[in-house]
């Protein structure tokens, strides 16, 4: 069984393990149902304060949090819209969060346009030793984990199971954050068949599709006929400029008509996080299989349970310290004379670029056309501390079919964290350091986290919106980099 780590923040489904999500959180939410149904007050502890920060509109998430706070007998304060706080005066989110904690908020429930903002606040507050947790109530197009927990509770209540389900999603799967979070959670379960009804404009990102061994994809709502669960997502028209003609076409396509309802399973459940626009026309809204009101109600027991849980675990430390975890492996450590002799014997073409320098670094095995990027990166980041020419040799024959590039940095040696950034861009490179008649060839492993280098290409990522947010990436198995904050995946050279 996975080790039970206390649950303090609710930031993203991918931060929670199976044990936390299904054996801790969900049973606690289920336990709250009878209390919420009977409206039984719980703790009555006005020393506990919840700060709501909603810089995007909300009816259900905000309303159910307030209802939960009142049933718990805690206090709350709310900031609705950016203009209601000093954020409108360009105060940073970091300082906003610090102030909330200073005024005794134990939990900040935040909804933002900025992606990764909640993770950033949670990490910052922990670093500042504030006992304050953060719940992500939706961050841009990224995640909405508390909605997913209430979606799971709804599934459990109506179907009695979370495995062996055929679940169909329709609508805006690209920007609909509730879909992303729910798919992440369902990927932990077994026997889940996913059906996606989308169009090129609303296509689910690869990283979520790949959570499942196979998904069925269609642009027709009729693909939903065999589903046990149908889950709709509103077109997120406020997030980007939709052509009105395309928008009208998408709206018409993603509508649950009475004709479609007739073709669906008799015992299907139809869910939607709401708000909906045209998805359910008035003539179908009363169909018993559309359980969206009960789904929205589940938000109250869920938020009661989550707030209680966070207050119980405020002392927990969650985030590891940020430091480059590069491991350097010295492959050769010989005298320069020895090295030259060895190379001369092999009569390698390489001699021509190792020979001319007697002090400095030769970065070898750079993939073709990556050399200029590394050179530019080192110069732009002021990493070449000593005077000395930087020389790029392009297109050297590596084997009969392969070519490489070499970068010569005369008189310069690189810090470990700079090596880490370069390796993250080009994993195959070696660093050859020549000084004091010594030659050292170093290979570096790919660090699990790239910290403090690169730039997230996503403009709405917190790292592009708060001066204290340090770019941080993790490597994916497919060889790309994933922003630790906004969770979007990019090619290595888009980032560094």
By CB under 6 A, the residues from 317 to 336 that bind ligand NCD are none
By CB under 6 A, the residues from 460 to 489 that bind ligand NCD are none
Binding flag, residue 66, ligand NCD (CB under 6 A): no
Binding flag, residue 440, ligand NCD (CB under 6 A): no
Binding flag, residue 144, ligand NCD (CB under 6 A): yes
CB of 56 to ligand NCD, least distance (A): 7
Alpha carbon 346 to chain centroid, angstroms: 49
CB of 62 to ligand NCD, least distance (A): 9
Binding flag, residue 135, ligand NCD (CB under 6 A): no
Nearer to ligand NCD, 185 or 495 (CB): 185
Nearer to ligand NCD, 49 or 177 (CB): 177
Nearer to ligand NCD, 7 or 271 (CB): 271
Nearest to 185 by CA among 156, 234, 151: 151
Binding flag, residue 60, ligand NCD (CB under 6 A): yes
Binding flag, residue 273, ligand NCD (CB under 6 A): yes
Binding flag, residue 147, ligand NCD (CB under 6 A): yes
CB of 52 to ligand NCD, least distance (A): 13
CB of 274 to ligand NCD, least distance (A): 5
Nearer to ligand NCD, 177 or 419 (CB): 177
CB of 175 to ligand NCD, least distance (A): 9
- From the list 61, 181, 412, 465, which residue makes contact with ligand NCD (rule: CB under 6 A)? 61
CB of 40 to ligand NCD, least distance (A): 25
CB of 278 to ligand NCD, least distance (A): 13
- From the list 119, 180, 234, 410, which residue makes contact with ligand NCD (rule: CB under 6 A)? 234
CB of 464 to ligand NCD, least distance (A): 21
Binding flag, residue 359, ligand NCD (CB under 6 A): no
CA angle 10, 16, 22 (to 5 degrees): 105
| Bridge partners, 367 (sequence order) | none
Binding flag, residue 303, ligand NCD (CB under 6 A): no
CB of 61 to ligand NCD, least distance (A): 4
By CB under 6 A, the residues from 151 to 190 that bind ligand NCD are 177-178
| Binding interface with ligand NCD (CB under 6 A) | 60-61, 138, 144, 147, 177-178, 234, 273-274
């Amino acid at each position: 069984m996975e080790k039970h780590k206390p649950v303090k923040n609710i930031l993203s489904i991918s931060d929670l393990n199976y044990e936390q999500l299904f054996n801790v959180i969900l049973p606690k939410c289920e336990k709250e149902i009878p209390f919420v149904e009977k409206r039984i007050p719980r703790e009555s502890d006005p020393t506990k304060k919840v700060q709501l920060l909603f810089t995007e509109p909300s009816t259900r998430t905000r309303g159910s949090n307030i209802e939960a706070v009142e049933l718990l007998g805690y206090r709350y304060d709310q900031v609705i819209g950016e203009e209601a706080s000093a954020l409108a005066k360009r105060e940073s989110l970091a300082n906003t969060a610090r102030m909330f904690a200073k005024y005794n908020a134990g939990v900040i429930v935040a909804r933002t346009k900025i992606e990764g903002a909640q993770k950033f606040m949670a990490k910052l507050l922990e670093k500042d030793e504030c006992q304050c947790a953060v719940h992500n109530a939706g961050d841009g197009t990224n995640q909405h984990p508390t909605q997913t927990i209430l979606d799971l509770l709804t599934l459990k209540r109506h179907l009695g199971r979370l495995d062996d389900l055929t679940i169909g999603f329709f609508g805006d799967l690209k920007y609909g954050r509730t879909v992303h979070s729910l798919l992440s959670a369902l990927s932990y379960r077994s026997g889940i068949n996913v059906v996606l009804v989308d169009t090129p404009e609303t296509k689910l990102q690869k990283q979520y599709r790949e959570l499942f061994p196979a998904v069925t994809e269609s642009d027709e709502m009729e693909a939903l006929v065999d589903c046990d669960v149908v889950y709709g997502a509103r077109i997120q028209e406020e997030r980007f400029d939709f052509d009105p003609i395309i928008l009208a076409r998408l709206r018409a396509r993603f509508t649950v008509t009475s004709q479609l309802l007739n073709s669906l399973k008799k015992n299907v459940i139809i869910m939607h996080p709401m708000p909906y626009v045209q998805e359910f026309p008035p003539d179908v809204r009363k169909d018993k299989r559309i359980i969206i009101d009960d789904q929205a109600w589940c938000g109250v027991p869920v938020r009661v349970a989550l707030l209680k849980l966070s207050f119980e675990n405020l002392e927990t430390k969650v985030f590891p310290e940020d430091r480059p975890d590069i491991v350097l492996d010295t492959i050769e450590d010989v005298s320069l004379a020895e090295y030259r002799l060895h190379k001369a014997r092999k009569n390698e073409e390489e001699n021509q670029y190792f020979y001319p320098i007697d002090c400095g670094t030769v970065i070898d095995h750079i993939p073709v056309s990556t050399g200029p990027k590394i050179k530019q990166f080192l110069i732009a980041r002021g990493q070449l501390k000593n005077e000395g020419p930087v020389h790029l040799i392009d297109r050297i024959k590596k084997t009969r079919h392969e070519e490489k590039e070499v970068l010569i940095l005369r008189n310069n040696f690189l810090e470990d964290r700079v090596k880490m950034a370069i390796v993250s861009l080009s994993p195959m490179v070696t660093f050859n350091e020549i000084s004091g008649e010594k030659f050292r060839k170093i290979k570096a492993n790919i660090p699990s986290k790239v910290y403090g280098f690169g730039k997230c290409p996503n403009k709405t990522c917190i790292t592009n919106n708060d001066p204290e947010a340090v770019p941080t990436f993790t490597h994916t198995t497919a060889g790309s980099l994933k922003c630790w904050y906004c969770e979007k995946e990019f090619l290595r050279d888009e980032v560094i």
